[in-house]
Structure formats: structure tokens, C-alpha cells
Amino acid sequence: MEELVKADLGPLTQSDRVLLLIPTRNGETWAWCLLGNEVDETTDFKGHLAQANLRKTFCDHWLPPRPSEPPSLIDARSEWARLP
């Protein structure tokens, strides 16, 4: 979001048809967390999950939020909530 503002594009609005889902490290971190594992934003969780399962993990485990989610996943949930 900060990069949009820096580029003078402003923040995204409800009517924008774009989602910004940006993990701090990689998508596997989020997927590993969504499967109920403890994660942090600095550890590399690549290899903990087969790439083929990554998409299915997001679809099957997106809700409900977990209290121990990393900040980047919490931000992604806000973006996801903008979808109609």
C-alpha cells in the first residue's frame, strides 16, 4: 500500500478490481499458517508444503482467521474482504 502512495497512485478503493496479497517472505508461510502451524515472518517455510497444494490450501483454509497469524496475512485478509 505504501508503494502505491509513494507512486502517487493513492490507496486502493472498494471499487478497484485489484487485490494486493503480498506475504513478507513467501506464500508458503501463509499456507503453513493456514494449516494450523505456528509461523513467523522471517523463517523460510518453502519446502514444508508441495507447490501443487498451495492453491488448494488457500481455498480450503482461508477462514476463519487464527490469532497467531503473521501481520502480512492479516493485511491480506483485509484485501480479500474487499471482494464482492
Of the CA atoms within 13 Å of residue 39, those in its CB half-sphere come to: 30
The Cα–Cα gap between 59 and 13 comes to 24
Q: Give the distance, in angstroms, between the CA of residue 65 and the centroid of all CA atoms in the same chain.
A: 11
- pTM of the predicted structure, to 2 decimals: 0.57
The amino acid occupying position 64 is: P
What local confidence, expressed as pLDDT, does residue 51 receive? Answer: 56
What local confidence, expressed as pLDDT, does residue 42 receive? Answer: 92
Report pLDDT digits (tens) over 23-82: 888 888 888 888 888 899 999 988 877 654 666 666 666 767 778 888 888 888 777 777
Q: Phi, psi at residue 52, to the nearest 5°?
A: -65, -25
39 CB burial (10 A radius; 0-12, 13-18, 19+): buried
Domain chopping of the chain, boundaries: 2-81
